[in-house]
Amino acid sequence: MKSTVLHIKNMVCPRCIKAVRQVLEQEGKDVVEVSLGSATVKGTLSATQTEGIAKALQEEGFVLLDDRKHQIVEGIKNFIVETVHYGELDELNENFSTLLSQRLQKDYHLLSKLFSEVEGTTIEQFIIQQKIERVKELLAYNELTLSEIAYKMGYSSVAHLSGQFKKVTGLTPSQFKQLKEDKRKSLDTI
What are the pLDDT digits (tens) for 25-49? 999 999 999 998 899 999 999 989 9
Cα–Cα dist 182/21, whole Å:
30
Cα–Cα dist 165/44, whole Å:
46
Helical segments of 105-145, H only: 108-119, 123-141
Cα–Cα dist 143/57, whole Å:
36
List 41's β-bridge partners, or say none: 4, 31
Q: In the chain, what percentage of residues exceed pLDDT 90?
A: 73
Which strands sit side by side in the sheet containing 3-9, from one edge to the other? 31-35, 38-42, 3-9, 63-65
Q: Label residue 186 by pLDDT band (50, 70, 90).
A: low
What is the pLDDT at residue 67? 85
Give the pLDDT mean for 103-119. 94
Report phi then psi at 5, rounded to 5.
-100, 125
CA 126 to chain centre: 9
Given a cut of 80, whether residue 145 has pLDDT beyond it is yes
What is the pLDDT at residue 90? 75
List 26's β-bridge partners, or say none: none
Neighbours of 23 (CB within 10 A): 22
Sketch out the chain's domains with CATH numbers.
3-66 (3.30.70.100), 68-190 (1.10.10.60)
